[in-house]
Structure 1
Amino acid sequence: GVQCGEMALKIMQGAKVNSLPACYPRNLLYTLNLRTARYMKIQFREEYIHNAYQVFDE
């Protein structure tokens, strides 16, 4: 979101798209649905569950 906005502003100010460097996320937020994961027989390491922004397990 914010990083895309920053890049869009540079383009709107006249920067050429192909002159901008590749952009990688500064922060990574993810949500896990453990009920669906179990249904699909997908397992996550405990650290991934612990670090998730949201975990659904209903």
Structure 2
Amino acid sequence: MEKLAVKLLVLHAFIAEQRNEYAKMETEGVVEQAFVSGILAALEFFEDALEEMWGSAV
């Protein structure tokens, strides 16, 4: 169980870091902005899911 907890924490930190990096991106094109918005939405979804899993694992 401890290994799973550590892996979840590492994954959570990685997702948060990636979310912040994508949030900093400034793009001119509509397609690029849509891509960044999609990535941000996916990262936020996974971050929320991890937090749910973490809450139920405790």
Flag the structure with larger Rg: 1
Give the TM interval when normalised to the shorter protein: 0.3 to 0.5
From the two aligned structures, give the one with the greater strand fraction.
Answer: 1
Which structure has the highest helix share of the two? 2
Higher relative contact order (CA 8 A, sep 6+): 2
Structure 1 length normalisation: TM-score?
0.32
